[in-house]
Amino acid sequence: VAAACQATLWSFALPALEITDVVEVSDSVAQYERFEASIALSEDFGNPFDPEQIAVDVTFTAPSGRTQAVPAFWYEPFSVSGTGWEEYSSTGSPGWRVRFAPDEVGTYAYTVNAVAGARSAPPVAGSFQATASSGPGFVRIDDRNGRYLRFDNGDPYLPVGHNVAFEDGNPSLNGVGYYTSLFGSLGQAGENWSRVWMTDFNRNALEWGEGHYS
């Protein structure tokens, strides 16, 4: 009887979680630009947005030894069509992605980790090169005076722009087309800052469901 019970318990054991592939978009990126990689797991999950079901994180180690942990996100490519209300169609399989902007020049090492409840996948390691860039870097609080902002290269940053908020509801200026036209115009005028509302009624909320009125 004991042997039979033990066999029954083993039959319900969950399979081992594995990181089956990590594909870099580019092995070399300029300083302050975007490194990106896709991450494949050995199984799918009912809700990839719930970190209690599945959490995929990548730890980056800079040439100086400084480490930064970055969560991966669930990604699906879409195409946009329509001149009135836009329609969005999937153009590929969904999967995990990680994006990271290096602020040092040299070799970055990274480690991919995946945790599903009590199960952890064996980590997968990789590396990429960050090359020198003429870009000004990130905007940060000025360490000489906290009332001001400066780029990493020391240049001052003065935000100039608009409170864009959300679309105007005009079918001819809807969705991606609206923002492409608007931000293109603002960029040509030299603006360097905008505010966008992540509102549910404009379908931009990070969390909303099919039962919502919008």
How many whole angstroms separate alpha carbon 116 and alpha carbon 18? 10
Neighbour count for residue 47 (Cβ, 10 Å): 10
pLDDT tens-place values along the chain, 214 residues long: 555 555 454 546 778 999 999 999 988 999 999 999 999 999 999 999 999 999 999 999 999 999 999 999 999 999 988 877 788 899 999 999 999 999 999 999 999 999 999 999 999 999 999 999 999 999 999 999 999 999 999 999 999 999 988 877 665 556 788 888 889 999 999 999 999 888 777 767 777 667 766 5
* CA separation for the pair 116, 138 (Å, rounded): 34
Work out the number of other CB atoms within 10 angstroms of the CB of residue 152.
14
DSSP 200: G
Task: Name the E strands within 1-103.
Answer: 19-24, 28-30, 35-41, 55-61, 67-71, 73-75, 78-81, 87-90, 95-100
Enter the pTM of the model.
Answer: 0.82
| Angle CA 62–65–67, to nearest 5 | 65
